[in-house]
Structure 1
Amino acid sequence: MPRKHKTLPRLFIDQPLATGDQLKLEKAPSNYLVNVLRLNEGDEVILFNGQDGAFRATLVNGSKKAAQLEVAEQTSAQTPPSQIDYIFAPIKTARLDFMVQKATEMGVNALRPVQTQHTQMSRINYDRMRANAVEAAEQCEILNVPTVHEAQTLEKLIANWAETDPERKLIFADEETDVTDAAKALKPLGQSKVAVLIGPEGGFSEAERELLRAQSFCVPISLGPRILRADTAAIVALTLVQSNIGDLR
Structure 2
Amino acid sequence: MMPRIFMPEQELKMGQVWMVDEAQAHHFVRVLRVRNGERLVAVVQGEPWLCEIDEAQQSPLRLTLRPISRYPGHEPHIRLTLVQGAAKGEKMDDIFQHMTELGVSHFIAYQTERSVIQLTKKRQEKRDRWQKIVNEAAAQSQRDIQPLVTVACSRNELEQQLPDRAEATCLVCDELPQGNSLGKAVEHELKSGKRHFVLFIGPEGGFSDAERQWFYHQLGAIGVQLGPRQLRTETAGLVAASIVLQLSGDLEGNL
TM-score relative to the length of structure 1: 0.84
SS at structure 2 position matched to 1:150: strand
SS at structure 2 position matched to 1:32: helix
Contact 1:44–1:59 at 8 Å: present in 2 too? no
**Percent pairwise identity:** 26
Deviation, structure 1 residue 19: 2.8
Contact 2:83–2:109 at 8 Å: present in 1 too? yes
Match of 1:225 among 223, 228, 249: 228
Query: What is residue 31 of structure 2 aligned with on the other side?
Result: 36
Query: What is residue 7 of structure 2 aligned with on the other side?
Result: 13
Query: What is residue 210 of structure 1 aligned with on the other side?
Result: 213
Query: What is residue 88 of structure 2 aligned with on the other side?
Result: 92
Deviation, structure 1 residue 13: 2.5
SS at structure 1 position matched to 2:5: strand
Match of 2:198 among 185, 195, 200: 195
SS at structure 1 position matched to 2:82: strand
Question: Does 1:105 pair with 2:108?
Answer: no
Deviation, structure 1 residue 219: 0.9
Query: What is residue 22 of structure 1 aligned with on the other side?
Result: 17
Distance in structure 2 (CA, Å) of the matches to 1:74 and 1:93: 43
Question: Does 1:142 pair with 2:137?
Answer: no
Gaps of 5+ in 1: 1-5
CA RMSD, Structure 1 to Structure 2 (Å): 2.6
Query: What is residue 239 of structure 2 aligned with on the other side?
Result: 236
Contact 2:86–2:112 at 8 Å: present in 1 too? no
Contact 1:54–1:78 at 8 Å: present in 2 too? no
Query: What is residue 183 of structure 1 aligned with on the other side?
Result: 183
Check 1:43–1:186 CA distance in 2 against 1; reply closer, same or farther (3 A cut). Answer: closer
Instruction: Give the number of equivalent residue pairs.
Output: 241
Deviation, structure 1 residue 85: 1.1
Deviation, structure 1 residue 34: 1.6
Check 1:178–1:133 CA distance in 2 against 1; reply closer, same or farther (3 A cut). Answer: same
Residue type of the alignment partner of 1:228: L
Residue type of the alignment partner of 2:197: V
Distance in structure 2 (CA, Å) of the matches to 1:216 and 1:89: 16
SS at structure 1 position matched to 2:47: coil
Deviation, structure 1 residue 88: 0.8
TM-score relative to the length of structure 2: 0.82
Contact 1:26–1:65 at 8 Å: present in 2 too? no
Distance in structure 2 (CA, Å) of the matches to 1:91 and 1:234: 12
Contact 1:30–1:65 at 8 Å: present in 2 too? no
Distance in structure 1 (CA, Å) of the matches to 2:213 and 2:128: 34
Distance in structure 2 (CA, Å) of the matches to 1:208 and 1:216: 11
Gaps of 5+ in 2: none
Deviation, structure 1 residue 142: 1.5
Query: What is residue 66 of structure 2 aligned with on the other side?
Result: 71
Distance in structure 2 (CA, Å) of the matches to 1:109 and 1:29: 22
Distance in structure 2 (CA, Å) of the matches to 1:15 and 1:65: 25
SS at structure 2 position matched to 1:53: strand
| Structure 1 residues 106-134: Cα deviation after superposition (integer angstroms, max 9, x where no partner) | 21221111111011222452222222222
